[in-house]
Homo-oligomer: A and B are copies of this chain.
Amino acid sequence: MPSQSPFQTHKDAVHLRGSGPVTAAIIMAPAGEKKGILERLDAGEIVIGDGGFVFALEKRGYVKAGPWTPEAAAEHPEAVRQLHREFLRAGSNGQQINEAACDLAREVANEGDALVAGGVSQTPSYLSCKSEDDVKAIFKKQLDVFVSKNVDFLIAEYFEHVEEAEWAVQVLKTTGKPVAATLCIGPEGDLNGVSPGECAVRLVKAGAQIVGVNCHFDPETCVKTVTLMKEGVEKAGLKAHYMSQPLAYHTPDCNCQGFIDLPEFPFSLEPRILTRWDMQKYAREAYAAGIRYIGGCCGFEPYHIRALSEELATERGFLPAGSEKHGNWGSGLEMHTKPWVRARARRDYWEKLKPASGRPFCPSMAKPDGWGVTKGHSDLMQQKEATSQEQLKALFDKANKDH
């Protein structure tokens, strides 16, 4: 779960969060009582990740879109704890949550068989062309928290440039804990045009045991990208485990920068939300592609994670707790009063259905924004202050001309 990334701000505020863009930390179980992440994956187990906390908490009223700082764990611990619990009940055994939430994560941990991961993600400093040493110093500082909390493994996630992700992995490796690394890239590769296959090889060589993607694209795109990563790793004669944590939004119309450029981001993405059946399809395809750490990112709600767990229940040998409250493929409808609703109590119906949007005045695809601006461009430099009204006016005019 990227805490701030899709809503990256260029204010120092991000750094003022104390620990920098620390994004993950999770359910820790008593030593000796549970298997570690690599033991599980090496044994062929499927690990189900959790969903995107910041999007979910924004809809519940506890996180602000824009600055997007994850103070909820401190301000409203009961809300964060409740969401943790829902993902756990949905079958997730690889949860992630912000450092500030470490203590309540530990509390929820006792309710299930989950692992705790600490994570770091891309830095505004890198985009502003700071040196390798400067960027690595930021990562090192963030590590202290995770070491003191004794998390189960570490994740370098939400990186748009493989180079910065390599630096992060190199730092995380110094702890001796298992390291996963995920980029937010599509089949076209990172923002410098490095292909998914080459990205994966570089991450494995840097020391990551688990590689993959998170955020920015829909499940179909993410599975395609991880497949390319796997091909690259195998072609290079290397070995790794694979991981995907896509959006819960359909984004066939994205360009290489992902859903942030879609005009609907972040406040009108509703028509794109995946159904539980879309999620079962994703779980099946991810599994078929050899991905064993299967989770989600922005847009995932507990019932989405439950759908992943249900699709792979046979392979995993168990159903999640939340399935007590969920009939298989709509079977709960068998008793509905209306016979045509009872007729929907079957897999065939839901698998074939092409759901209507109820929005006849809306298109099905959008043209992504993107003004030809990349790393190093002055428009993308960190600003010390909020954008002024005059600056905004200029942006609004430019945008209106574009559409």
Contact = CB atoms under 8 A, between A and B. Distances in A.
Contacts of A171: none
A51 to B, nearest CB: 11
A268 interface: yes
Nearest to A257: B338
A357 B362 contact: yes
Contacts of A334: 66, 386-387, 392
A251 interface: yes
A175 interface: no
A264 B276 CA distance: 12
Which of the four size classes fits the interface of chain A? 35 or more
A2 B10 CA distance: 45
B349 A399 contact: yes
Interface string A321-334: 11011110011111
A15 interface: no
Given A345-B392, A349-B399, A66 B332 contact: yes
Nearest to A395: B343
A337 interface: yes
Contacts of A327: 64-66
Interface string A118-145: 0000001001000000000000000000
A31 interface: no
A191 interface: no
Contacts of A357: 250, 271-272, 357, 359, 362-364
Listed residue (A261, A272, A325) with the most chain B CB atoms within 10 angstroms of its CB: A325
Listed residue (A7, A363, A386) with the most chain B CB atoms within 10 angstroms of its CB: A363
Interface in A346-384: 346, 348-350, 353-367, 369-371, 373, 379-380, 383
Contact of A361 (B82, B86, B366): B366
A253 interface: yes
A266 B335 CA distance: 14
Listed residue (A264, A337, A346) with the most chain B CB atoms within 10 angstroms of its CB: A337
Given A335-B383, A349-B396, 5 more contacts: A13-B335, A61-B89, A63-B325, A264-B353, A361-B366
